[in-house]
Amino acid sequence: MFSILTSGYKGYNKSHYKYISSIICLKSIEYAGFTLLELIISITLLSFVVLIISAVMRSGLRAYERAKDINNEYVLKSSIINLIDKELAAIISKNNPMTKRLSFFEGREDILSFTTASAPVGARGGIFKVSYKFYPEENLLLYCQKIITLPSDIKERPDDITEWNREERKRLIEAGWDCEGVTDIKEFQLRYASKYTDASPEFWEANWKTNGLPRVIALRTWDKWALFFITPIN
């Protein structure tokens, strides 16, 4: 490049050479690097990109947590409803003289207890008394079961608890009850009817006082009603 710039110029010397070389170097640096404004713009754009990526990641994590919670609630709700339905399908009736003494039913707004021939998983069979009791202040559903060996066992019920823990469970086991506490249950509301009606279950009986079994039981949990139609084993 120097030969081109100096071609035809006879009066150049070393000082001219150095001057022209410095100009070329400065121009090269000017065009090869970034200006301060370009650097600020680049950093600003990079910050926006990082901010957007972080927001998308946080949104995705929140959506995942919500989906996980909904799935857990659905599994828990389905398990409770399926268990109640299974046990009610084998409820002991007072119509059969052979099992009349073993028939029991108690229905309140927050308590459901009855005798059933539905055996727990792993049990050989028999008559069991089951009890569902809801503690709204603790958001706790206490489920207990006990095998009936004597008619006097039918009148027994699990003692009330103040807090579900290992000591309370041990105490109930010593009394012959096998119990499990299900936490984070925000709603467990029961209603009873002698027959199905189109009226909303919230207007059905909250406490079953009739001698005999209801024909329909409604359970409200997770803001929805589930219906159980009872056909006793005679």
Residue % of the chain over a pLDDT of 90: 35
Whether 146 has a pLDDT exceeding 80, the answer reads yes
Establish if 8 belongs to a structural domain: no
> What is the sign of the dihedral through the CA atoms of 84, 90, 95 and 101?
negative
pLDDT tens digits for 198-226? 889 999 999 998 888 999 999 999 889 99
Higher pLDDT pick, 45 / 225:
225
User: Rounded to an integer, what is the distance from CA 48 to the centroid of its chain?
Assistant: 35
pLDDT band at 20; cut points 50, 70, 90: low
Establish if 5 belongs to a structural domain: no
Which of 12-21, 133-142, 206-215 shows the lowest per-residue confidence on average (mean pLDDT)?
Answer: 12-21
The span from the CA of 59 to the CA of 65, in Å, is 10
pLDDT band at 26; cut points 50, 70, 90: very low
Q: Per-residue pLDDT averaged across 98-112, rounded?
A: 91
pTM: 0.69
Whether 48 has a pLDDT exceeding 90, the answer reads no
Establish if 3 belongs to a structural domain: no
The span from the CA of 133 to the CA of 127, in Å, is 20
Establish if 179 belongs to a structural domain: yes
Whether 68 has a pLDDT exceeding 70, the answer reads no
Other C-beta atoms closer than 10 Å to the C-beta of 104 total: 21
Contact 180, 161 (CB under 8 A): no
Q: In which domain, by residue range, is 61 found? A: 13-234
pLDDT band at 100; cut points 50, 70, 90: confident
Contacts of 16 (CB under 8 A, 6+ apart): 6
Which of 7-11, 47-51, 84-88, 134-138 shows the lowest per-residue confidence on average (mean pLDDT)?
Answer: 7-11
Contact 119, 125 (CB under 8 A): yes
pLDDT band at 33; cut points 50, 70, 90: low
Helix (H, G, I), strand (E, B) or coil at 130: strand
Domains in the chain, number: 1
Establish if 7 belongs to a structural domain: no
Establish if 184 belongs to a structural domain: yes
pLDDT band at 4; cut points 50, 70, 90: very low
Q: Per-residue pLDDT averaged across 124-138, rounded?
A: 90
Whether 99 has a pLDDT exceeding 60, the answer reads yes
Establish if 4 belongs to a structural domain: no
Strands of the sheet containing 178-182, edge to edge, are 105-107, 111-116, 128-135, 140-147, 178-182
